[in-house]
Structure 1
Amino acid sequence: MSGIFSIGISGLNAARAALDVTSHNISNVNTDGYNRQRLSQSAATPQFVGYGYAGRGVDLYAVSRLYDSFMDEQLQNVTASSSGFQAQATALSDIDNLITDANAGLSNQMQGFYASLQTLSQQPASIAARQSVISQAESLSGRFQSMNTRMEEVRNGLINQINTSVDGVNSYARQIAALNEQILSLNQGEGRVPNDLLDQRDTLVRDLNKLIKTDVVEQSDGMYSVYIGQGHPLVIGETSYEMTMTRGAPAQPEDPEAPSLAIKLPGTNNTVVLNSQLIGGGSIAGAMTTLQYDVARVQTDLGRMAVEFSDAMNRQQALGVDLNGQPATAPMFADLTAFRTNAENATTPAGEAKAMRDALRRFAVAVQDPAQLAVASGIQAGAAVPVDPTEVPGGKPAITAIWQVSNLSPAANPLLGAAPALALNYIPGNTPPFEADYGGTIVPVTQSATQSGVYEFTLASGEHIAFKFEGQAATAQTIPVTPRTGAASESAQLDNANLLEMARLQTRPLMAATPNSTSTFMPAVGAARTGSLQSFYGQTVSYVGSRTNVVQVSLTAQEAALQEVKLKRESLSGVNLDEEAANLIRYQQAYQASSKVIQVAQEIFQSLLDLR
């Protein structure tokens, strides 16, 4: 009789335990990271009773969770990748909106500035037109400053995001270490483990991967060891390591504002600097990538534009004379060439970006007096004189405009010297009909490839001269060329030739291409200048648009992969309410049947007692 009772009781306990597990599954259907649990049972060891082995009911040996470690690792990896691309996409979208916005970008302001130069060229003595040029220059400077401010907001936002994420990493690491300790104390082995704590720990690891990619190793005692980067420990058993974000040295000595990540060793003030390129994923990696490459690249490009534009304008300004016929003394824009030198001497992209950020902050209009704009050419041509005084000139060629063209490179930009005198020698029948005689040296004169009717030549001392002429002569003529001295007699002859050369800077190749590399954003010293300011800006816009598109496509792919892995995990580990409802009925019936077994045993036992 005791066998029937014990069998019934074991079945009753098994059904009750199964009902407990099913109820627990139903209660946690909306719990994030919960893995469906299952009661494991087996037939009890039978007992030999003479006629054979009789069963003794059911034994319960484990409550296990339906968990696939490989699938969970996949989920962690895809979560880290998706989160990293999401951080990049958000920041790049802000940058893309900034530099492509017709109202916030540079294109319209540059067009407005050059348009004001064209207007001034039609009335070079007008103070109002000169003031309009200065106003447009200040507007362009303000736009550069505005874009830099917006880029600084993006940069500082990413740095703050990294700093906040580091705090989150440390919080998750401490919680995982605490759960390791709890799990170790409650783990009874052979499947008797605290499943709910395991779920909580896996959820924390998954949330941690949203911030930074991790590698997890489960130890033989059930504790997790969590590593980041190239094997740097974050959690070892019950010990959590602290991640820190520092700025500047020692990781970024050339930029005191640049962030870097490190792991602080427990019980010491020593840290191990992490290589941000090897973090692998998570929002921290995405923010660091955008900060170090995209933001730095765009700010460096904008800074280079400010430096080269201001330098080119200042060089051409220095070659002209102002409204009073005096040689230009005031630069048009603040001199930023020292920042170019700083960037060229930098050994890291962070150092280059720092120098160009500093240049952007200081880009400003220097000239305030409209009369100081050097609109007129700083050199002038005299009247043609026959080489042979005894010959009667059959017509006279005249230089209608002559000017110096500034160098675009950082080399010296010499002014035409007063002596020895420069002469343009007109030779009938020659093509072109001019040669330049400078101190006894004949310099070839060639026709300009970019300006119709213009001839140009470069002296050995570096001065590049361009001029237009009209008229012909049957005899050789000499036309003297001298610098303007500021004499009162020269003021009436002022022209707009220097201003027109300023306007031509719109299409001159001021910019060398940005290297297609992540190790430098600055072209080599002396690299060929191949693009105008606006075409270079177009390349920067194209770079940002391309990067934004690539990251967005990658994000879409990773989000689709993440959704697929989640669905696979849910199909295995998720709670199906329909299935659990069916289990409730099944276990309820099993409970009732076991109760009936006990009732039958009781009735049989009572009948035996009644026989006495």
Structure 2
Amino acid sequence: MSGIFSIGISGLNAARAALDVTSHNISNVNTDGYNRQRLSQSAATPQFVGYGYAGRGVDLYAVSRLYDGFMERQLQSVTASSSGFDTQLTALSDIDNLITDGNAGISNLLQSFYSGMQTLGQQPTSIAARQSVLSQAQSLASRFQSMNDRMEEVRHGLINQIGTSAETVNAYSKQISDLNRQIIALNQQNGRLPNDLLDQRDVLVRDLNKMIKADVVEQGDGTYNVFIGQGHPLVLGEASYEMVVSRGAPANPEDPEAPSISIRLPNAGTLVTVDPQRLGGGSITGAMTTLTYDVARAQADLGRMAIEFSDAINRQHELGVDLEGQPAVGGIFADLSAQRAAAEAATTPAGQAKALREALSLFSVVLQEPSKLAVASGLQAGAAAGGSPVITSVWQVANLAPDANSVLPAAPSLALNYTPGNNPPFEADFGGTIIAVAPSLTQSGVYQFTLPTGQNISFKSEGLSSSNQTIPITPRTGAVSELAQMDNANLLEMARLQTRPLMAATPNSTTTFLPATGATRTANLQSFYGQTISYIGSRTNVVNVSSKAQEAALQDVQLKKEAFSGVNLDEEAANLLRYQQAYQASSKVIQVAQEMFRTLLDLR
């Protein structure tokens, strides 16, 4: 009788345990990261009873979870990639919307500034027209400042996000090490592990991968070792390591704001810097990538535009004279040559970006008095002895590159020698050296030549002569008698900068933001700005495509994991009925054994 009782009780216990596991599955159907559990059982060791081996019921040996380690690692990897691209896309979309917005960009204001110059060229003595040019210049500078402010918001937002994410990483690392400690304490070997704690730890690792790509190595005792980058430890068994976000030195000595990622070693207390290019994924990686390359590239390009534009306008402005015939004192815009020198002296992209970012922030209008705007040329031409040809205007042309560009000295005198029949008919005589000149390719009747001392001279002539002539060229002195001869030549030369190639192409966004010294300038400001827009647009599109691809991959892996280890309520409902019937049947076995035992007692 005892055998029937024990068999019935074992079946009853097995059915009850199966009902417990099924109920646990149903209760956790909405628990994130929960893996469906199942009860493992086997027939008990039989007993020899003479006629053979008689069964002794059922043994329970484990409650295991349906878990695929490869699928979990795949989910963690795709989660890291998806999170990284999402972070990049958010920042790049902000920048792309900023620089492509017709109202927020600078193309329209550049055009307005040059249009204002063209209007002033028609009435060069008008104070109102001069003020309009300065107002357009101020609007342009304000737009540069506004774009820089928006860029700074994105940059500081990414820096803060990196710091906040690092704190989250440290919290996850601590929780994972704590779970490792609990798992070791509860581990009963032979596959009898605390399944719910294992699920919680996998969820933490997955959340950790949203911040930064983490590689997991499972140990023999069931604990996880977690590494990032090139094998830098975050968790080793029961110990967690601290991630530290540093700024400036030693990783970025030329930019005190540039962030870097390090791991603090617990014993020595030293910091081991993690190579940002080896982080692999996660929001920290996405933020570092966008910050280091894309935001820095956009600000560097705008900074270079501010430098080259202000330098070209200022140097041309300084070659003219104001409304009172006095030589210009300074330029229209702030002098950014110190920032250019700092960028050229920098040895790292971070140092270049810092200097160019500073130039962008300092771009402003310094000329406030409209009458001081140097519209007229600083040179004047005398008359030919025979009255022809007539030099209607003569002016200096600033070099595009920041070379020596001094004002033409008052002595020795410069003369234009006219020889009829020669092609071209003019030669320049300065200090005894004759330099041939060529007609301008952009204007009819305009000739250009370069003096041995480096100054570039342009002039426009009208009329012909049958005899040789010598026409003196002298700097304006500001004398009252010269005011009637004031022109707009210097202003028109500043306006021509709209189409002149002021910018050399940006080499790349990884090793340098500056072209090589002496690189050929191939683009005017607006076309260079278009190149910057094209770069940001291309990067945004690439990241957008990658983000969508990773999102689709993430959903696919999640569905596969859910199909394999997720809770199916229909299946669990069927199990409830099955185990309930098994429980009732085992109860019936006990009832039958009880009745047989009572019958035997009645026979006595």
Category of TM-score, reference length = shorter chain: over 0.9
The CA deviation at 1:267 is: 4.5
Q: How far apart, CA to CA, are the structure 2 residues paired with 1:151 and 1:607? A: 92
Q: How far apart, CA to CA, are the structure 1 residues paired with 2:307 and 2:490? A: 21
Q: How far apart, CA to CA, are the structure 2 residues paired with 1:589 and 1:473? A: 123
8 Å Cα contact 1:380/1:481 also seen in 2: yes
Match of 2:562 in 1: 570
- Regions of 4+ moved over 6 Å: none
Partner amino acid for 2:458?
Answer: A
Match of 1:291 in 2: 291
Give SS of 1:62's match: strand
Per-residue CA deviations over 1:48-96 (Å, capped at 9, x if unaligned) read: 2222221111111100000000000000000000000000000001111
Match of 2:394 in 1: 402
Which of 45-54 and 232-241 deviates more? Answer: 45-54
Q: How far apart, CA to CA, are the structure 2 residues paired with 1:197 and 1:30? A: 16
The CA deviation at 1:268 is: 4.5
Note if 1:121 corresponds to 2:135. Answer: no
Match of 1:206 in 2: 206
Give SS of 2:141's match: helix
Identity %: 75
The CA deviation at 1:348 is: 1.0
Q: How far apart, CA to CA, are the structure 2 residues paired with 1:450 and 1:579? A: 83
Match of 2:539 in 1: 547
Partner amino acid for 1:32?
Answer: D
Q: How far apart, CA to CA, are the structure 1 residues paired with 2:595 and 2:283? A: 69
Match of 2:257 in 1: 257
Note if 1:371 corresponds to 2:363. Answer: no
Q: How far apart, CA to CA, are the structure 2 residues paired with 1:549 and 1:224? A: 38
Match of 2:193 in 1: 193
Match of 1:353 in 2: 353
Partner amino acid for 2:384?
Answer: A
Give SS of 1:335's match: coil
Partner amino acid for 1:100?
Answer: T
8 Å Cα contact 2:297/2:509 also seen in 1: no
Match of 1:388 in 2: none
Match of 1:590 in 2: 582
Q: CA RMSD in A?
A: 1.1
The CA deviation at 1:264 is: 1.0
Per-residue CA deviations over 1:271-300 (Å, capped at 9, x if unaligned) read: 111111111100000000000101111111
Partner amino acid for 2:216?
Answer: V
Give SS of 2:272's match: strand
Match of 1:162 in 2: 162
Per-residue CA deviations over 1:482-531 (Å, capped at 9, x if unaligned) read: 11111211111000000000000111111111012411111111111111
Which of 512-521 and 278-287 deviates more? Answer: 512-521
Q: How does 1:146-545 map to 2 (within 5 A)?
A: 146-385=146-385, 396-545=388-537
Match of 2:144 in 1: 144
8 Å Cα contact 2:293/2:509 also seen in 1: no
Match of 2:9 in 1: 9
Partner amino acid for 1:509?
Answer: P
Partner amino acid for 1:457?
Answer: F
Q: How does 1:19-98 map to 2 (within 5 A)?
A: 19-98=19-98
Q: How far apart, CA to CA, are the structure 2 residues paired with 1:25 and 1:110? A: 66
TM-score by length of 2: 0.99
Q: How far apart, CA to CA, are the structure 1 residues paired with 2:216 and 2:479? A: 83
Per-residue CA deviations over 1:551-579 (Å, capped at 9, x if unaligned) read: 00000000000000000100111000001
8 Å Cα contact 2:318/2:374 also seen in 1: yes
Partner amino acid for 1:477?
Answer: Q
Q: How far apart, CA to CA, are the structure 2 residues paired with 1:524 and 1:542? A: 22
Partner amino acid for 1:52?
Answer: G
Match of 1:389 in 2: none
Per-residue CA deviations over 1:335-394 (Å, capped at 9, x if unaligned) read: 001100100110111111110111122111111111111100111111113xxxxxxx5x
Which of 586-595 and 469-478 deviates more? Answer: 469-478
Partner amino acid for 1:107?
Answer: S
8 Å Cα contact 1:396/1:473 also seen in 2: yes
Q: How far apart, CA to CA, are the structure 2 residues paired with 1:396 and 1:413? A: 31
Per-residue CA deviations over 1:450-472 (Å, capped at 9, x if unaligned) read: 33332111111111111211111
8 Å Cα contact 2:84/2:281 also seen in 1: yes
Partner amino acid for 2:524?
Answer: S
Partner amino acid for 2:542?
Answer: V
Q: How far apart, CA to CA, are the structure 2 residues paired with 1:220 and 1:51? A: 45
The CA deviation at 1:265 is: 1.4
Q: How does 1:95-114 map to 2 (within 5 A)?
A: 95-114=95-114
Question: Mind listing any 5+ residue stretches in structure 1 that lack a counterpart?
Answer: 386-392
Q: How far apart, CA to CA, are the structure 2 residues paired with 1:190 and 1:404? A: 91
Question: Mind listing any 5+ residue stretches in structure 2 that lack a counterpart?
Answer: none
Give SS of 1:226's match: strand
Q: How many equivalent residue pairs? A: 604
8 Å Cα contact 1:330/1:372 also seen in 2: no
Q: How far apart, CA to CA, are the structure 1 residues paired with 2:279 and 2:442? A: 51
Partner amino acid for 1:575?
Answer: V
Q: How far apart, CA to CA, are the structure 1 residues paired with 2:499 and 2:116? A: 16
8 Å Cα contact 2:294/2:509 also seen in 1: no
TM-score by length of 1: 0.97
The CA deviation at 1:418 is: 2.0
